[in-house]
Each structure stands twice: as structure tokens, then as C-alpha cells.
């Protein structure tokens, strides 16, 4: 077998200014050509491990590192990441931020050019790398015209062109829709290289058959490491435990659920949309949508990238003005109402928390929309209660931007729940969140609907949709394909051949 | 701020095309721009300035950017040029009296020959310099320009600074839209003119934008360094941006013609 590509011994890491270690006692050996999947909850140290393996820790990230990472016989402490670049390649989550040139060819050639290779060699490598991710047809495209999945493929090709001995993929599908995810995973599966692969992923199902090993991480440690089959089974069992116990039973046991049940039957639709057509920059984004949103219900909006899901939420809120159609809220036509008026009844949470945090303390951020929309004195007691429910009270007077991503996401939800809008509009709030972290989130949403509130949620995870939502609105190229109860909807999707949007169990067969 | 700049220089961006001016290699084109600008500065008489202006118009014509483009995109520049001319015409009182007009109450407008000439030259030089740069930017693919400059010795860090910033313009434009939407959803109304409101508006816009930018930069740095950016002082290139012999000849011919023609016209008039 020879020398391992990477040998990690006793590595621990603590970020500067943090009390807890992000990694502790990591031992790992990666051999040539191995395919390893790593999974674990948010904040379990997966990404930190990736940065360690690629040499960015200890060189770029501030903190204390213990132990050693030996890459092809070189100690990562002595060699900066650029020196390790030909040996270890790193593909990150954000498809947007890791491409640095304007054209696909320039992007894939970027690494080999930095290695000062000859023109012929670069040409060969570019062709080979694009071929390896089945993307030769993208060759002459401009980067900004690519879809998310295509961008990720180019990112993988540009790393492959370095001919590394090990390629690390850090949640390469986290920002992609189900089609993009399937596309990227298919490409990874087919990749014909003798490169060792480490892939960090939440969605394991497709990876199990091709992995040599599966590692599970928790709180900075590797808690299991072995044959993918058995490790996966064990992992699922524990996830189910959290998933089941934490959520469904918990909320349905709450007393008082029956009251909103009655209200649900009596009231007509909270929101009634008819013939909604929206143009953006001369392009038709939504075409002739008609549907109702009912109180006490959770409606999932599904569909591919560019099918108009986000536009739909923005149109409900009035940020996009409709070309045609009517939006009626509780028997009142609000089609022409101002955004600030509608926002009182509709609280929207956007995908990326960094886009929607404006204030300099957690408390002020949480109270901001109440203040802006109602000009109210802040109801401190309510905000505090919410902060403590979402486990954020200890940061009350801290700076929101120092929170972790998961904490920021919870804060954005708190700030909306703080003023009790009747309808929640949630745009892919769960991207990059694992099952356990999602549980607080779903708790809040379920409670919102149990008190008669309506929820419209753009969600990519069919398992979540099946477990929590009441109906599915499926958009395809700006048209409403159907509006059905969940189970019926999934059956329809299976019949129509939208395989990537089905829950893991039952439908996919394998 | 950005919006104001945009109003001042509307559409200052590459307009893809396949004309002679577009195809000319960025390097000789840049050198030609420099030679042209130097001529504009050296030859400060009326006739050479007019001649240079006509040469510029010919290039505009050949690049497929018609008079509409010229008048529309350079509206502000043209108006500013006219204003500069007026100031000169009114303030310089030398030469022969060309024109006189009694306005009212004893105020008389007089136009003197030297004033008219100085005004015309100043306006033309101003327009020539700006419009020629405008033409260069409109007909040169910035990506090609950056790669070409790096291959003749511009340190590649600077070249990629240009390329990555071009790469991220659409990304940040999109982020800005999302941030504006998020603000509206939270009832933050930026329409308001009181200083307090304006200050808060700026804060609410900059905070998330800066955070997002820093975030992206982190990703970008990791992505570039893990592909060996900065490992060696030099780097190789997949595409050679070589300049054709004909293009060098064209540049040389233009240089000679501009300088000789300029000298000739200056002597004659």
C-alpha cells in the first residue's frame, strides 16, 4: 500500500477566542485512491477538519493546533497551503465565491497556470478535468451564466486539473437544489481518477454505495469510522431517535392543539392568490398562479432553481409587483398595498442570514422589525422569551455577526416571530442545517401553525416536507404544476418523473 | 454614490462586438490610446484639435458605436465641455471682436476671437481625452486586457485583482438586491431625507454588504490558494495573447501619422 496520502495524528484545534475545541484527538489515515465520506451535525468540526487537511490550519486560521498532519511526507506546519496545492485540492460549499475568473477555460486552467506548467500540459489537463466531470460542453461559457450545479462542476474540475492526490469536497451540494445535487453527486460518482476523495455531506444515500469508508463526527471527534453500510445504519438509527423524539411527538402532545383545529375548519383561506403573473426585467418569472393558503397549515413550495420559488414569496410580500392577478388577504385585496403594510401580516425569512441582520446587538436585531413595522416600544419580555427558547439569551447584548451560522438563522426567525405575523414566508431556511439543529426550527413553525398561523416554506428536503408540511405547491418554470396534499403530491411527482424531489424512502426503490 | 457615478459615466462598460476596433489587440490599442492622448495634450491649436476630434469620430464609426451611442452615453461629458467653452468665451477678452449683443441694463455680451478659439480648444481637448478612453473601454474585453497585461510583465496579483473584481460585480449586485428585499421585509424604509434616517440607511445597507463581502473573500482566498496562487513569482498561461506583426505596424503607422500630422497642422496654422 505504501505511504498514506495523509496521516493525521492526535490533531486538536481551538479557534481564537473560543472556549471549546473545534477538533480533538483526530486520528485519520487516508490511502491512495480511497473514497471516504464524512458526516455529522452542524458545528461538529467537519469543515475545520477539511481546513486542517488542506493546510489552511495552522497557516491562515487563527487558533491553537495540536498534533500533526503529514501530507505525502510533508508536515503541514512547515508548508503553506500553496505548497500543498498540487497534492491536496479543496472544493467548498459556495459555488459563487470560489470561482475567480470570468471564463470556464480560464478557471480550470487557473491552477495549472499557477504551477507554471507548459501550455500543452495545461491544455491536456483542462480537457481531462472537464471531461472527468462530464462538462466539456461548458468549456466556452462565461462563469456568470452557469447554474449553481454547473458552477460546482467547474469548481471540481478546476481542482482536479491540479492532479491532487487527495481531493476534499466540503458539502459541495449544500447550496444546490435537488437537481443540482443529483447532478454533482452523479459527476463525483463517475469521476474516473486515482485520486483519493474525502467528501463531507449531509445527504449520504447516494454516497454509501461508492464509499470505502464512512466517518461520523460529533463535537470535534470522530465517533465512528468503518464500512459505510453498518456505520450508516447506526447513524440513521441515532438520527431517527433525535428526529422522532424531538419533533412530532413533542408538539402534538402539547395541550390546546384542538382549539386551532376548530379555527382551521371555520376560517376560509388566509391568503388567496388568483392569476398571479410576475415579470422581472422583461422576463416572465411567474405565470398565472392560483392557490389558497389556509391558517394552521404548512405549505411547502418546491421546484428547481429558477422555477420562481423565491419570486413567489417576494410577490406575496409585494416586493415584486404583479403584472396581472390578485392577492387577497382575509377578504381584503392587498395586491396594491405597500410592502411595509403587508409585512405586518407576513414575516419573511431569507435564505442567507448575513443578508438580513442589520443591528449591532442581538436584542436590537430581534426587536428591529417590531420597531420598524409598528413603531412600538419593544416588547422586551416577549423578545427575551423567544431568545431563551431559541437558546440565544446568553448572547443578548453581543454582536450578531459573531454568532455561528446556525445561531444567526435562529436569530432571523426570532426577529420575525417577535412581532407575530399571521403568515410566515420562509425561503429555504434549512440549507446547511442538519436534522438535529432543524428541530428547534420546526418546533417553532409547528407552534406557529398550532396557534392558527399559516406558513409558506420553500424547502428542498423531501423528507422534511413529508414529515412536517400539509401540502405542496410545485413550480416548474414559473408555472404551478400542482397544489396538492403532501402524499398525493409525492405520488404525482413520482408519476411525472421528478425523481430527485422524492423522499428517501418508498419511492426511489433502491 | 455608485448610482451617481453611473449617471456621470452611463454605460461605461465593454460592448461586445466584432469590428476592426474590437479585434485590435488590447496592448497596441492601449498604446494607441496613450499616443492619441499625448497628441491631444501636445497639439493645442484649434485646427489639430478639430482634426483629432474627427479621427476619433472615424474610430467611433468603425467600431459600430454610432452617433446615438456617442450623444447618449457622452451626454454629460458633452454638456460639461460646452460649459467649459462658455466660461472661456466669456472670460477671455483678446483678439478681435467677433460678436456683440446687448442683453439689458447696459450689460453687453462680447465674444472675442481669442476667447472663442481658447474655448473651442479646451472643449475639444476635454472631449477628445474622455471620449477616446470611453471608446477604449467600450471596445476592449477587460478580461483579455488583464491577461495581455500580465503576459507582458504586469505582476499577476494586480491582473487578478482586476479579473476577480469583474467576476464579483454581478455577484455583489445580486447580494445588494437581496439585502434591499430583506430590508423591505423588515419594514426598513430607505425613502427619507432626514440626516438621521440617511445615516441609519447607510448603516443598514453597509453592515450586511460588508459582512457578505468578507465572507466571500474568505472563500475566494482559500479557493485561490488551494490552487497554488502565489506559489511562484511568475505563472504560465493557457492562451498566449500574442500581438500580430500587422497590429504593431498599424500602431507604428498611426503614431507617425498622428505626430507628423499634428506637427504639420501646428506649423501651418
For every residue of A4-40, DSSP letters joined together read -SEEEEEEEEEETT-SS-SEEEEEEEE-TT-EEEEEE
- A256-339+424-429+459-502 maps to CATH 3.90.550.10: no
Residues linked to residue A166 through DSSP beta bridges, in sequence order: A88, A196
- Of A161, A155, A154, which is closest to residue A129 (Cα–Cα)? A161
Weakest mean pLDDT among A145-154, A497-506, B247-256: A497-506
Q: Average model confidence (pLDDT) for chain A?
A: 85
pLDDT score recorded for residue B3: 44
Burial of B164 (C-beta count, 10 Å sphere; 0-12/13-18/19+): middle
Weakest mean pLDDT among B193-207, B221-235, B249-263: B193-207
pLDDT score recorded for residue B10: 60
Please indicate, yes or no, whether residues B61 and B171 belong to a single structural domain of this protein.
no
Please indicate, yes or no, whether residues B131 and B175 belong to a single structural domain of this protein.
no
Please indicate, yes or no, whether residues B89 and B166 belong to a single structural domain of this protein.
no
Give chain A's radius of gyration (CA, Å): 24
B212 contacts A340? CB cut-off 8 A: no
Alpha-carbon span A326 to B184, nearest angstrom = 21
A102 contacts B187? CB cut-off 8 A: no
Stretch A435-453: mean pLDDT: 82
Question: Is residue B88 included in any domain, yes or no?
Answer: yes
Q: What is the pLDDT of residues A202-256, one digit of tens each?
A: 778 778 888 899 999 988 899 999 998 888 888 877 776 555 444 443 344 443 3
Question: Is residue B202 included in any domain, yes or no?
Answer: yes
Stretch A119-132: mean pLDDT: 93
Is residue A454 a contact partner of residue A291, using CB atoms and an 8 Å limit?
A: no
Alpha-carbon span A444 to A468, nearest angstrom = 12
B184 contacts A358? CB cut-off 8 A: no
Alpha-carbon span A146 to A105, nearest angstrom = 13
Question: Is residue B233 included in any domain, yes or no?
Answer: no
Q: At what angle do helices B142-151 and B26-42 cross, to 10 degrees?
A: 90
Please indicate, yes or no, whether residues B131 and B159 belong to a single structural domain of this protein.
no
Using a CB-CB distance cutoff of 8 angstroms, which residues of chain B are in contact with residue A355?
A: 175, 178-179, 182, 208, 212
What does the angle CA A189 – CA A193 – CA A198 come to, to the nearest 5 degrees?
Answer: 60
Please indicate, yes or no, whether residues B134 and B159 belong to a single structural domain of this protein.
no
Please indicate, yes or no, whether residues B26 and B72 belong to a single structural domain of this protein.
yes
Please count the other Cβ atoms lying within 10 Å of the Cβ belonging to residue A220: 22
What is the residue range of B158's domain? 154-225
Sorted by sequence, the CB contacts under 8 Å of residue B63 that are 6+ apart come out as B17, B19, B20, B21, B22, B135, B138, B139
Q: Give the three-state DSSP class for B209.
A: helix
A114 contacts B232? CB cut-off 8 A: yes
Tell me where in chain A the CATH 3.40.50.300 domain(s) lie. Answer: 6-244, 256-339+424-429+459-502
pLDDT score recorded for residue B204: 87
Alpha-carbon span A236 to A275, nearest angstrom = 43
Is residue A359 a contact partner of residue A368, using CB atoms and an 8 Å limit?
A: yes
Instruction: Select from B180, B211, B227 the residue whose CB has the most chain A CBs within 10 Å, as the one to mutate to test that interface.
Output: B227
Please indicate, yes or no, whether residues B208 and B126 belong to a single structural domain of this protein.
no
Cell triple for A293: 393558503
Q: How many CB pairs under 8 A join A and B?
A: 182
Query: How distant, in Å, are the alpha carbons of A315, A325, A329, A478, B136 from that of A334?
Result: 11, 11, 6, 22, 50
pTM for this prediction = 0.83
Q: Does B232 lie at the interface with A, CB-CB under 8 angstroms?
A: yes
Please indicate, yes or no, whether residues B116 and B61 belong to a single structural domain of this protein.
yes
Structurally, how many domains does chain B consist of?
2
**Residue B132 pLDDT class (50, 70, 90 cuts):** very high
- CA distance to partner chain B, nearest, from residue A163 (Å): 10
**Residue A329 pLDDT class (50, 70, 90 cuts):** very high
Nearest to B167 among A100, A350, A352 (CB): A100
Alpha-carbon span A365 to A351, nearest angstrom = 17
Q: DSSP code of A142? A: B
Cell triple for A70: 503529514
* B:64-103 residues touching chain A, CB 8 A cutoff: none
pLDDT score recorded for residue B124: 93
Is residue A223 a contact partner of residue A216, using CB atoms and an 8 Å limit?
A: yes
- CA distance to partner chain B, nearest, from residue A462 (Å): 26
Nearest to B236 among A85, A118, A159 (CB): A118
Instruction: Select from A98, A313, A315 the residue whose CB has the most chain B CBs within 10 Å, as the one to mutate to test that interface.
Output: A98
Please count the other Cβ atoms lying within 10 Å of the Cβ belonging to residue B106: 6
Please indicate, yes or no, whether residues B15 and B101 belong to a single structural domain of this protein.
yes
pLDDT score recorded for residue B95: 80
> A6-244 in CATH: which number?
3.40.50.300
Please indicate, yes or no, whether residues B132 and B165 belong to a single structural domain of this protein.
no
Q: What is the pLDDT of residues A242-263, one digit of tens each?
A: 554 444 433 444 433 333 444 4
Alpha-carbon span B220 to B226, nearest angstrom = 10
Cell triple for A83: 505548497
B223 contacts A99? CB cut-off 8 A: yes
B187 contacts A110? CB cut-off 8 A: no
- Of A435, A436, A37, A47, which is closest to residue A232 (Cα–Cα)? A37
- Please give the biggest Cα pair distance in chain B: 77
Q: What is the pLDDT of residues A358-400, one digit of tens each?
A: 988 999 898 888 888 887 666 788 889 889 888 888 888 988 8
Question: Is residue B208 included in any domain, yes or no?
Answer: yes
| A27: pLDDT strictly greater than 90 | yes
Amino acid at each position: 500500500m505504501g505511504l498514506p496520502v495523509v496521516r493525521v495524528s492526535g490533531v486538536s484545534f481551538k479557534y481564537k477566542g473560543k472556549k471549546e475545541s473545534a477538533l480533538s484527538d483526530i486520528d485519520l489515515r487516508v490511502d491512495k485512491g480511497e473514497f471516504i465520506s464524512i458526516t455529522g451535525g452542524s458545528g461538529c468540526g467537519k469543515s475545520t477538519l477539511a481546513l486542517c487537511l488542506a493546510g489552511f490550519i495552522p497557516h491562515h486560521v487563527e487558533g491553537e493546533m495540536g498534533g500533526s498532519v503529514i501530507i505525502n511526507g510533508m508536515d503541514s506546519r512547515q508548508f503553506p497551503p500553496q505548497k500543498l496545492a498540487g497534492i491536496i485540492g479543496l472544493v467548498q460549499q459556495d459555488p459563487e465565491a470560489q470561482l475567480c475568473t470570468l471564463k470556464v477555460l480560464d478557471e480550470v486552467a487557473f491552477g495549472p497556470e499557477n504551477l507554471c506548467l507548459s501550455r500543452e500540459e495545461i491544455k491536456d489537463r483542462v480537457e481531462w478535468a472537464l471531461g472527468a466531470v462530464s462538462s466539456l460542453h461548458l468549456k466556452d461559457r462565461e462563469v456568470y451564466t452557469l447554474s449553481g450545479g454547473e458552477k460546482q462542476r467547474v469548481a471540481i474540475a478546476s481542482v482536479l486539473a491540479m492532479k491532487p492526490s487527495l481531493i476534499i469536497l466540503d458539502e459541495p451540494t449544500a447550496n444546490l437544489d435537488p437537481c443540482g445535487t443529483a447532478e454533482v453527486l452523479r459527476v463525483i460518482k463517475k469521476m474516473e481518477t486515482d485520486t483519493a476523495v474525502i467528501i463531507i455531506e449531509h445527504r449520504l444515500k447516494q454516497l454509501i454505495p461508492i464509499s470505502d469508508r464512512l466517518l461520523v463526527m460529533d463535537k470535534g471527534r470522530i465517533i465512528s469510522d468503518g464500512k459505510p453500510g453498518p456505520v450508516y445504519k447506526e447513524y440513521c438509527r441515532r438520527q431517527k431517535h433525535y428526529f422522532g423524539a424531538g419533533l412530532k411527538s413533542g408538539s402534538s402532545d402539547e395541550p390546546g392543539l384542538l382549539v386551532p383545529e376548530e379555527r382551521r375548519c371555520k376560517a376560509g383561506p388566509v391568503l388567496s392568490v388568483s392569476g398571479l403573473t410576475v415579470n422581472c426585467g422583461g422576463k416572465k418569472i411567474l405565470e398565472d398562479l392560483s392557490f389558497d393558503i389556509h391558517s394552521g397549515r404548512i405549505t411547502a413550495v418546491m421546484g428547481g432553481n429558477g422555477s420562481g420559488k423565491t419570486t413567489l414569496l417576494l410577490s406575496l410580500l409585494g416586493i415584486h409587483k404583479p403584472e396581472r392577478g390578485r392577492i387577497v388577504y382575509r377578504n381584503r385585496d392587498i395586491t396594491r398595498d405597500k410592502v411595509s403594510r403587508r409585512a405586518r401580516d407576513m414575516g419573511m425569512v431569507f435564505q442567507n442570514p448575513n443578508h438580513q441582520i442589520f443591528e449591532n446587538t442581538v436584542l436590537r436585531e430581534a426587536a428591529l422589525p417590531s420597531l420598524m413595522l409598528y413603531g412600538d416600544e419593544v416588547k422586551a419580555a416577549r423578545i427575551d422569551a423567544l431568545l431563551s427558547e431559541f437558546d440565544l439569551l446568553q448572547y443578548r447584548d453581543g454582536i450578531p455577526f459573531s454568532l455561528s451560522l446556525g445561531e444567526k438563522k435562529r436569530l432571523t426567525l426570532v426577529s420575525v416571530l417577535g412581532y407575530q405575523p399571521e403568515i410566515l414566508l420562509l425561503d429555504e431556511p434549512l440549507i446547511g442545517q442538519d436534522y438535529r439543529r432543524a428541530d428547534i426550527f420546526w418546533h417553532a413553525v409547528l407552534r406557529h401553525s398550532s396557534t392558527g398561523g399559516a406558513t409558506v416554506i420553500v424547502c428542498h428536503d423531501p423528507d422534511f416536507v413529508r414529515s412536517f408540511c400539509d401540502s405542496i405547491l410545485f413550480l416548474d418554470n414559473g408555472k404551478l404544476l400542482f397544489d396538492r396534499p403532501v402524499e398525493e403530491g409525492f405520488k404525482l411527482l413520482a408519476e411525472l418523473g421528478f425523481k430527485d424531489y422524492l423522499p428517501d424512502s418508498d419511492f426511489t426503490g433502491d | 454614490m455608485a448610482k451617481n457615478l453611473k449617471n456621470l459615466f452611463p454605460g461605461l462598460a465593454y460592448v461586445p462586438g466584432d469590428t476592426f476596433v474590437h479585434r485590435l489587440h488590447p496592448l497596441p490599442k492601449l498604446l494607441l490610446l496613450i499616443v492619441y492622448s499625448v497628441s491631444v495634450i501636445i497639439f493645442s491649436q484649434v485646427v489639430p484639435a478639430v482634426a483629432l476630434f474627427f479621427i476619433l469620430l472615424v474610430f467611433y464609426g468603425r467600431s459600430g458605436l454610432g452617433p446615438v451611442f456617442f450623444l447618449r452615453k457622452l451626454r454629460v461629458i458633452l454638456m460639461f465641455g460646452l460649459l467649459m467653452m462658455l466660461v472661456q468665451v466669456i472670460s477671455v477678452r483678446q483678439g478681435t471682436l467677433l460678436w456683440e449683443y446687448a442683453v439689458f441694463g447696459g450689460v453687453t455680451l462680447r465674444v472675442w476671437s481669442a476667447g472663442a478659439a481658447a474655448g473651442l480648444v479646451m472643449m475639444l481637448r476635454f472631449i477628445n481625452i474622455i471620449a477616446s478612453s470611453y471608446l477604449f473601454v467600450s471596445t476592449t474585453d477587460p478580461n483579455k486586457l488583464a491577461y495581455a497585461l500580465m503576459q507582458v510583465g504586469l505582476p499577476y496579483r494586480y491582473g487578478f485583482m482586476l479579473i476577480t473584481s469583474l467576476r464579483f460585480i454581478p455577484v455583489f449586485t445580486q447580494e445588494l438586491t437581496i439585502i434591499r428585499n430583506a430590508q423591505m421585509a423588515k419594514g426598513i424604509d430607505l425613502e427619507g431625507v432626514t440626516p438621521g434616517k440617511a445615516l441609519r440607511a447607510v448603516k443598514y445597507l453597509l453592515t450586511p454588504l460588508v459582512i457578505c463581502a468578507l465572507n466571500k473573500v474568505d472563500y475566494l482566498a482559500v479557493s485561490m490558494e488551494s490552487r497554488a496562487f502565489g506559489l511562484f513569482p511568475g505563472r504560465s498561461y493557457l492562451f498566449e495573447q500574442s500581438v500580430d506583426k500587422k497590429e504593431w505596424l498599424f500602431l507604428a503607422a498611426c503614431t507617425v501619422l498622428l505626430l507628423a500630422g499634428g506637427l504639420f497642422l501646428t506649423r501651418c496654422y
